[in-house]
């Protein structure tokens, strides 16, 4: 009985499998009959997709070899498009520039006045630290590929960074008395006589005791008041406070080159300064003027070690020239260090083309800047008379030149021209010419150059977002773009290989080889 049931069960199972197979075959046959267009469309589209995608990858990969992502970033920076980081960070610059002021105190007044000492002894006091606040307003994009803006600078005292009491006093020569006398040194006997009479009336002091705050911001003198009443043209200002003079009207209209029209080498170079291409206060007598220089906010792109960087600063009153010194590393970024040339304050030849030679002609190491200060007899130099002729070290005692503390330099990322750190240092000095025909109040100071103060403009430290962008652009982006280009070209090759493989498979199917093997396999018991 069990054997019969097993045979019946087996027979039933076989019938069921046979019916299931027939139903499956019927279903497949029905699907294949219902969707022949889908299969044909797939057969046509697959190789076409491979080819199109492969071509896109190939063209894109080759394009990145010519127009790299780094190149695209640099082009966008040239354009200074509003809304993009290069423009917005320039438009609202970070507060990164510190001003350090150093003043000179005379320590041997009595010895000098009684002729025990023939030279003044100067003692440096400082630094007094301020922050320079820079704003850019009234931005205009010109049709000739330049950008015009108004730059305004202000000095803000930083009590948290200062250890010097602004109410502490210093002793300085009477700059007003000596400056007026020096200004009149080549005038007639009658003019000098008028000066002598004025001093007898006013009775000015040869030395003044001032607080540091007065020296910086509010230095007045009865001599100035009296001279202003008699000859206003002689005394255009009545406040000789050094920072007051610098920042009372530190607003300038600047036009710079931008855009692809002028290229990388002229990017952010000055075209006009307060409407002229000439050196302010000097006119055409000083060569190329301000053209081709930078204000120091940004420099040209793709700087090389042979590049000469020119820097214009209003307080410097002349074009500063910097040459490559050495490689530096800052924030993990490879950079170049450019130093202000040692001969920047030296005489040049021919003598008639030397705009800063002074009258009489100054020795090397001193530059006349009186034209920037209403004719007031001022000269600029390296701090503590560093470099120049030996003669400039004989004017006073107490000078301690130090290359590390007193040189000027710039550390710049060469590809983008972004300044990573800079120090601009210069000293202002009163030029006392040879005083003949004057009274004893001033003749003792005759024929010398007296240090007044020196300033350091220090850009140190950048916001993290600027450092991050520069680091990404010069360190990460070039590596990324190589991998990206390799990925695109490799992807193109892989897609072509898949296309060839797919076409070969289709050819086999068209030749019924696979169909024959399938039927042979299914037909086996």
Q: What pLDDT, in 10s, does the model give residues 177-186?
A: 999 999 998 8
Please answer whether residues 247 and 154 qualify as being in contact, where contact means their C-beta atoms are separated by less than 8 angstroms. Answer: yes
Q: What is the pLDDT of residue 20?
A: 47
Predicted local distance difference test score (pLDDT) of residue 360? 84
Distance of CA 428 to the CA centre of its chain: 25
Question: How far is it, in rounded angstroms, from Cα 59 to Cα 485?
Answer: 10
pLDDT of residue 8: 41
Phi-psi region of 184 (alpha: psi -120 to 50; beta: other; left: phi over 0): alpha
Task: Cite the beta strand spans of 33-173 per DSSP E.
Answer: 97-106, 122-141, 146-157, 169-173
HSE toward the beta carbon, residue 451, CA cutoff 13 A = 33
φ/ψ of residue 149, rounded to 5: -150, 165
* Residue carrying structure tokens 């301690």: 400
- In the three-class reduction of DSSP (H, G, I as helix; E, B as strand; rest coil), residue 313 is classed as strand
pLDDT tens-digit series, residues 488-516: 677 777 767 776 776 677 666 666 555 55
CB atoms closer than 10 angstroms to residue 77? 24
Residue 105's pLDDT band, with cuts at 50, 70 and 90, is: very high
CA 226 centroid distance within chain: 45
Span 448-478, pLDDT tens digits: 999 999 999 999 888 888 899 899 888 887 7
**pLDDT of res. 103:** 97
Mean pLDDT of the chain: 83
DSSP structural state of residue 362? P
- The candidate with the shortest Cα–Cα distance to 338, out of 409, 283, 270, 241, is 409
pLDDT for 92 equals 87
List of residues 6+ apart from 158 with CB closer than 8 A: 98, 129, 130, 131
Look up residue 56 and give its two tokens. Answer: 């896109």
Digit-coded pLDDT (tens) for 322-340: 999 999 999 999 999 999 9
What crossing angle do the helices spanning 36-66 and 477-510 adopt, rounded to 10°?
150
Integer CA distances (angstroms), 110 to 113, 119, 176, 179, 399, in order: 5, 12, 20, 21, 20
- For residue 340, the cross-strand partners are 322
Is residue 401 within 8 A of residue 386, CB to CB? The reply is yes
d(CA 418, CA 469): 11
Higher pLDDT pick, 483 / 429: 429
Q: Which residues pair with 121 in a beta bridge?
A: 397
Report percent pLDDT > 90 for the chain. 47
Report the candidate in 179, 168, 171 with the shortest Cα–Cα distance to residue 106. Answer: 171
Residue 56 reports pLDDT greater than 80:
no
Q: Is the pLDDT of residue 66 over 90?
A: no
Give me the half-sphere count of Cα atoms (radius 13 Å) on the Cβ side of residue 42. 6
Q: What is the mean predicted confidence (pLDDT) over 14-32?
A: 46
Contact 484, 69 (CB under 8 A): yes
Rounded Cα gap, residues 248 and 360, in angstroms? 31
pLDDT (tens digit per residue) in 247-269: 988 999 999 999 998 989 999 99
Structural contact between residues 271 and 312, judged by C-beta atoms closer than 8 angstroms = no
Q: Cα–Cα distance between 136 and 147 in angstroms, integer?
A: 12
pLDDT at residue number 16: 46
- Binning pLDDT at 50, 70 and 90, where does residue 63 land? low
Token pair for 135: 């704003």
Give the up-direction half-sphere exposure of residue 422: CA atoms within 13 A in the CB hemisphere.
23
Yes or no: say if 136 and 149 are a contact pair by the CB < 8 Å rule.
Answer: yes
Query: How many whole angstroms separate alpha carbon 315 and alpha carbon 299?
Result: 19
pLDDT score of 465 = 87
Residues 406, 383 contacting (CB under 8 angstroms): yes
* pLDDT of residue 34 exceeding 50: no
The CA dihedral of 155, 159, 164, 170, to the nearest 10 degrees, is 40
CB 382 within 8 A of CB 365: yes
Closest CA to 315 of 271, 272, 361, 369: 369
Distance (Å, whole) CA 212 – CA 290: 34
Say if residue 28's pLDDT is above 90. no
CA-based nearest residue to 234, from 281, 183, 282, 175: 183
Nearest to residue 429, comparing CAs of 401, 395, 398? Answer: 395
Q: Where are the domains of the chain?
A: 95-462
Q: What is the DSSP string of 32-64?
A: HHH-HHHHHHHHHHHHHHHHHHHHHHHHHHHHH
Instruction: Name the residue among 170, 195, 201 with its Cα closest to residue 183.
Output: 195
- pLDDT recorded at residue 424: 94
State the CB neighbour count (10 A cutoff) for residue 425.
20
Within a 10 A sphere around the Cβ of 423, how many other Cβ atoms? Answer: 19
pLDDT, average across residues 169-182: 93
Tokens of 412: 């710049």
pLDDT category at 27 given cuts 50, 70, 90 is: very low
| Omega within 30 of 0 (cis) for the link into 410 | no
Quick check: helix, strand or coil at residue 286? coil
């Amino acid at each position: 009985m069990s054997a019969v049931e097993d045979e019946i069960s087996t027979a039933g199972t076989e019938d069921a499998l046979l019916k299931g197979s027939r139903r499956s075959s019927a279903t497949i046959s029905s699907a294949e009959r219902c969707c022949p267009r889908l299969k044909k469309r797939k057969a046509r589209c697959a190789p076409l997709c491979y080819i199109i995608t492969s071509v896109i990858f190939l063209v894109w990969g080759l394009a990145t070899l010519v127009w790299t992502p780094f190149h695209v970033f640099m082009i966008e920076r040239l354009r200074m498009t509003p809304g993009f980081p290069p423009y917005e960070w320039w438009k609202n610059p970070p507060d990164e520039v510190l001003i350090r002021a150093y003043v000179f105190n005379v320590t041997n007044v009595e010895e000098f006045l009684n002729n025990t000492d023939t030279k003044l002894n100067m003692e440096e006091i400082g630094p007094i630290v301020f922050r320079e606040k820079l704003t850019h307003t009234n931005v205009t994009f010109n049709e000739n590929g330049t950008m015009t803006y108004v730059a305004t600078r202000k000095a803000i005292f930083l009590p948290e960074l200062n250890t010097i009491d602004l109410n502490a006093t210093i002793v300085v020569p009477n700059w007003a008395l000596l400056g007026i006398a020096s200004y009149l040194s080549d005038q007639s006997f009658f003019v000098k006589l008028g000066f002598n009479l004025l001093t007898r009336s006013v009775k000015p002091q040869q030395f003044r005791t001032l607080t540091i705050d007065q020296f910086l911001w509010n230095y007045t003198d009865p001599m100035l008041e009296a001279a202003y009443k008699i000859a206003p043209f002689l005394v255009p200002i009545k406040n000789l406070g050094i920072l007051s003079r610098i920042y009372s009207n530190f607003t300038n209209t600047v036009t710079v080159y931008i855009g692809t029209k002028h290229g990388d080498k002229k990017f952010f170079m000055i075209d006009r300064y307060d409407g002229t291409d000439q050196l302010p206060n000097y006119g055409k007598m000083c060569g190329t003027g301000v053209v081709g220089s930078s204000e120091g906010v940004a420099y040209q792109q793709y700087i090389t070690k042979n590049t000469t960087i020119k820097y214009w600063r209003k307080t410097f009153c002349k074009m500063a020239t910097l040459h490559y010194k050495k490689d530096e590393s800052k924030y993990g970024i490879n950079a170049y260090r450019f130093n202000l040339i040692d001969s920047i304050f030296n005489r040049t030849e021919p003598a008639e083309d030397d705009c800063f030679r002074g009258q009489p002609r100054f020795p090397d190491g001193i530059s006349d800047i009186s034209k920037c200060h209403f004719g007031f007899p001022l000269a600029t130099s390296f701090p503590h008379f560093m470099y120049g002729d030996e003669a400039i070290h004989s004017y006073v005692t107490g000078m301690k030149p130090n290359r590390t503390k007193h040189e000027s330099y710039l550390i710049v990322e060469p590809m983008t021209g972004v300044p990573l750190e800079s120090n601009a240092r210069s000293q202002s000095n009163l030029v006392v010419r040879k005083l003949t025909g004057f009274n004893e109040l001033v003749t003792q100071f005759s024929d010398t150059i007296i240090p007044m103060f020196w300033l350091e403009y220090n850009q140190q430290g950048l916001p993290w977002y600027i450092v991050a962008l520069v680091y990404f652009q010069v360190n990460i982006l070039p590596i990324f773009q190589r991998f990206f280009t390799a990925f695109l070209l490799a992807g193109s090759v892989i897609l072509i290989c898949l296309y060839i493989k797919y076409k070969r498979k289709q050819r086999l199917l068209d030749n019924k080889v696979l169909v024959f093997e399938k039927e042979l396999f299914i037909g086996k018991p």
